[in-house]
Amino acid sequence: MTKATKRRFTDEFKREAVALWETSGRMQTEVASELGIMPTMLRRWQRKLEEGGVPASPAAKPPISSMASPADQASEIARLRRELDRARMERDILKKAVGIFAEMPR
């Protein structure tokens, strides 16, 4: 008998899972099953979000100083745009996966 390894989920996944549950109008057990997690885990994530335990942004960084040079600001803007593009792509992939799992017969 092998011991199961503990799975780790990103803060973004936790926020998306809770948002899916809250906006879909479906039961907690249904959403949790669809995502392959225990219903209690989904509820725990929701509580933690309500308490402010999960950061609002996985890559939260302090704002650029207003004294930064224009070149530094431009490079930071470019980096943030790349980060935003990646986050949007990941979101779209998750949405498609949820749609596929929702269509699967039980």
- Per the prediction, the chain carries an average pLDDT of 83
Could you tell me the pLDDT band of residue 52, with boundaries at 50, 70 and 90?
confident
Could you tell me the pLDDT band of residue 57, with boundaries at 50, 70 and 90?
very low
Distance CA 72, CA 53 (A): 32
Class of domain 11-58+68-103: mainly alpha
Distance CA 8, CA 81 (A): 27
- φ/ψ of 10, rounded to 5, equals -75, 160
pTM listed for this prediction: 0.47
Helix axes 70-103, 11-24, angle to 10 degrees: 50
Q: Break the chain into its structural domains and give their ranges.
A: 11-58+68-103
The model's pLDDT over 61-105, given as tens digits with 9 standing for 90+, comes to 555 555 678 888 889 899 999 999 999 999 999 998 888 888 888
